[in-house]
Amino acid sequence: MSAPMDKPESSRRQFFNGTVRGAFLFLLGAATTLLFRRSQPKRTVWQIDPYKCICCTNCATKCVMHPSAVKCVQVYPMCGYCKLCTGYFEPEPISLDTGAENQLCPTGAIKRRQLEDPYYEYNIDEPLCIGCAKCVKGCVLFGNGSFFLQVRHDRCVNCDECAIAIACPSQAFQRVPADKPYLFKNREHQA
Amino acid sequence: MRRMLRACLYLTLLSLPLVAAFGVERFPPPEFDAGYKMPVTTMPPARALWLSYVDVAVLVAALALASYLVLKKRSRDGVLALSVFSLLYFGFYQQGCVCSIGSVQDVALALFNSGYVVPLTTVAFFLLPLLFTLFFGRTFCSGVCPMGAMQDLVLLKPVKVPAWLEHALGTLPFVYLGAGILFAATGSLFIICEYDPFVALYRRTGSFGMLALGAAFLIVGIFVGRPYCRFLCPYGALLSLVSRFSKWGVTLSPTDCIHCQICDTACPYGAIADPMLKDPHPDPRKRARRRLALLALTALLVVLGGWLGERLSVPFSNSHATVSLAEQIAAEDAGKIKEPTDASKAFRQTGQPVEELYAEAHRVRGRFAVGSVLFGAFVGLVFGLTLISVSEPHERNVYDPDPADCVSCGRCYVYCPKEIVRVKRIQGKNVIPLTPVRGEQKG
């Protein structure tokens, strides 16, 4: 094709190379057929089943992204808007205010906003959240469980073999259809 | 009042055993009086499917363009420009995933586990470069692979790696390939992805270890041409196998080679094969005896490797999550370990019988027992064949790129004086450029 001058090669060698090339082609064809049979056109992404999550902190440390693609989400209809939020405060807070010493979140990613007395709204500042699930644990143990972890797909690179999924002790990671990529908690499931 | 109630409830809950792990509705959500609008939790969508088809289309286009630039156009600058594009697209835009190197593991996992569904994109990234290499040589390595591009760009002061070291390190990609397939096919680990040196740089985020590994490869890469490609890349091992039998490939001017050795000096990857004009072992009887001894040695190495693999199968299998969990549960039940891990706690919460876990772990162990022996034997075979190929006299009598090692970067085109003359002749300038050639020789 391109070589300026053809190599003075023996035709035996050429024949051998051609045969091996044919064998490789056959192998590739076989592999393609087999793989296409094992593949699926429907795209899936990773997601956490929040009802299986045990808040082990692997999500914060195992993800190939730093900070993790897993973040805490707040589902407001489930939230009790508690003044003493056990997802927000340390177990024995010195006072119920926004002081760093009182907060459970290591990065201060939960924002607390006063509504009408005695209710408070809690929002996740996602860029700060590292997915350590400290708040999730607090909320699940003593609150309604409206905080839970989810894979955020604007950050997840969708590795075929997710590093957190391998490390997940409770098999909470699963593949979900890409057009319904979230597994949110809901009130009906709780009751 | 309400606050007091809550405090009471809180205290009672504290003393309760923790029955439900996922929480119950302990505090009914309030009904707000004055127009409070509840925020909606965002759900950022996943990357669209059609974008992954764009990736495959770009891959095909880049492969075709690389083959054209290397073989037809014979343009080093063109390949360099294409590799920069590939670095930007497949590296920094696509964040290094999905990549052909890692796809080996997906394919292994899919071939050995019927339950695993492999994405079509991954299959394409695995097969297409192999197909192109079968016809055009390793043009993927020079123009398309972002890892290769990165190392090609940092190469400033190439040092020649001594031949013995080159041959010895050259076996590593095959060992790495075997290990990658073993751990992927058993569903334990994707080691090739885990120790990918540059993916953390593409994402501009990653663990310290990953970033340090990337930096180390780049620093070494300043002096040693493409250290990852030559001495570690498992996909490169596959490509080098296929490339040996490619229909076309990088060639210099073989018929009128003047043995100036400039190409050999210019090639930073040690891919220009030294012509061995005379056989170092002219005595045919000696050579036959030597061949026989090497064959026997290879057989011995295969057996030794298989035996070593069999020894290592249990430690290898502990990398599998199920096996390590079963080990942990067994040790806890036997009272050897007091402190339960997260995994063992979660397992006990599910109420799954221990026997099922043990059976599953046993099945994985069985797969590892076979896989490790095969892996060990394969490593032995690689060592043996390397020894044979090193001691066999080569047939060539001109300087030409070795199809297995050549990554088709096109550097040698610019250096071969005969090639320069040829290009000039084609361009219609029948002037032999003496000065540039001398200049090149120095540099």
What confidence tens digit (pLDDT) does each residue in B189-211 have? 899 998 999 999 998 888 888 89
pLDDT of B305 > 70? The answer is yes
* Surface of A (113-172) touching B: CB under 8 A: 115-116, 118-119, 121, 123, 139-145, 152-154, 156-161, 163, 166-167, 169-171
Q: Do residues B175 and B125 share a domain?
A: yes
Which domain does B405 fall in, by range?
Answer: 250-276+394-443
- Is this complex scored with an ipTM above 0.85? no
Task: Answer yes or no: is B400 within a domain.
Answer: yes
| Chain B residues close to A152, C-beta within 8 Å | 44
* Alpha-carbon gap, residue B178 to B312, rounded angstroms: 14
d(CA B154, CA B221): 6
- Eight-state DSSP code of residue B92: I
One domain, residues B312 and B375: yes
What CA–CA distance (Å, rounded) separates A10 from A14?
7
Say if the Cβ atoms of A161 and B127 lie within 8 Å. Answer: no
B52/A140 touch (CB, cutoff 8 Å), yes or no = no
More reliable by pLDDT, B183 or A159: B183
A5–B253: do the CB atoms touch at under 8 Å? Answer: yes
CB–CB of B33 and A116 under 8 A? yes
Residues B323 and B200 in one domain: no
Yes or no: say if A88 and A123 are a contact pair by the CB < 8 Å rule.
no
Residue A179 predicted with pLDDT over 90: no
Domain tally for chain A?
Answer: 1
CATH number at residue B431: 3.30.70
Task: Decide if B190 and A35 are in contact by the 8 Å CB cutoff.
Answer: no
The confidence band for B277, taking pLDDT boundaries of 50, 70 and 90, is: low
B434 shares a domain with B346: no
- Determine the pLDDT at residue A148: 95
Is A61 within a domain?
yes
Q: CA B19, B22, B27, B28 torsion: positive or negative? A: negative
Last residue of a domain, one of B347, B364, B388: B388
Instruction: Give the tokens for residue A65.
Output: 């992204």
Interatomic CA distance for residues B198 and B215, integer angstroms? 8
Position B338 scores a pLDDT of: 86
Q: Which of B230, B249, B268 is the last residue of a domain?
A: B249
Q: Among A33-42, B112-121, B165-174, B231-240, which is the least confidently predicted range?
A: A33-42
Helix H or strand E segment including A67: none
Q: Which of B205, B234, B249 is the last residue of a domain?
A: B249
Beta bridge partners of A123: A111
Q: Determine the longest span between alpha carbons in chain A, in angstroms.
A: 92
Q: Is the pLDDT of residue A173 over 90?
A: yes
Give the count of domains, chain B: 3
Least confident of A24-38, A163-177, B221-235, B385-399: B385-399
Does the pLDDT of residue B253 top 80, yes or no? no
Please give the Cα distance from B174 to B381 (Å, whole number): 10
A87 pLDDT tier (thresholds 50, 70, 90): very high
Of residues A11 and A126, the one with the higher pLDDT is: A126
What is the residue range of A145's domain? 44-190
Which of A1, A34, A187 has the CB atom closest to B111's CB atom?
A: A34
> A residues 74-103 near B, CB within 8 Å?
74-84, 86
Confidence of residue B11 (pLDDT cuts 50, 70, 90): very low
Query: Residue B163 has what pLDDT?
Result: 86
Q: Do B379 and B443 belong together in one domain?
A: no
B350: nearest CA partner in chain A: A170
